[in-house]
Amino acid sequence: MSQPSVLAALLAGVQGGSIEVVDLTSPLSSTTPVIQLPPQFGQTQVFELEEISRYDDRGPAWYWNNFRSGEHTGTHFDAPVHWVTGKDLADVASVPVDRLIAPAVVLDFSEHAAKDPDFLVEVDHIKAWEADNGPLPQGGWLLLRTGWDARSQSQEAFLNADENGPHTPGLSAECARWVAEESPVLGLGTETVGTDAGRAHSFDPAFPCHSYLLGADKYGLTQLQNLGSLPPTGAVVIAGPLPIVSGSGSPARVLALVEGS
């Protein structure tokens, strides 16, 4: 008798509950927080729906909408071309599809961020985590849990800005360089509005996660939800950005597969 295929076993696991599907995506609406740059720069678009018809004279049997959105609004995927250091690398439509399904680890710094919204992850933090949990996954995601998804219903709380700029947790410049150049991961995922810490505008280089990771042909996932539902190791992430030709990124549906206990 032939053995069940790998795909059949996967489907049976999902349907039977031995594999849990966790949605890591923030719902996309007009209230979804967006990054705010200094006024001299161009600004991203808040998500908007424009009704085309809703079972009426414009279309008696159907409901549909146009939508307008920035590429980097809500839960989204950063392609290398998003940053000047990756300007000659892949747009979001050119990211190899086999890189959109990858193992993931979750490093939980939520207690640190609760005490200090400007908390920065250093290389030593990651190496200490590796000593307890094993190496970062080859070709996988490093997901940074900070508890920031609890703020995602409020633009003000999510950006957490004052006269000195936003205050949100992230990686130090040296840690960003290490993740980009020395770690085996393919990208960084965060719960905050972008992959960089709020204070990263004043780092050297400015916005080092964008500068180093995208310049190293790696990726970013941001505004993730529910990382607290994932184990430190063992999850598989499926990231689904729209393949926008020449796009620097895209809103994405991001799912995680987790083995049941």
The residues annotated as belonging to the active site are 82
Concatenate the DSSP letters of all residues of the chain into one string: -PPPPHHHHHHHHHHHTSEEEEE-BPPPSTTS------TTS--PPPPEEEEEEEEETTEEEEEEEEEE--TTSSSEEE-GGGSGGGTTS--GGGS-GGGSEEEEEEEE-HHHHHH-TT-EE-HHHHHHHHHHH-PPPTT-EEEEE-SGGGGTT-HHHHH-EETTEE---EE-HHHHHHHHHTS--SEEEESSSSSS-GGGGGSSSSSHIIIIIIHTT-EEEESB--GGGS-SS-EEEEEEE---TT-SEEEEEEEEEEE--
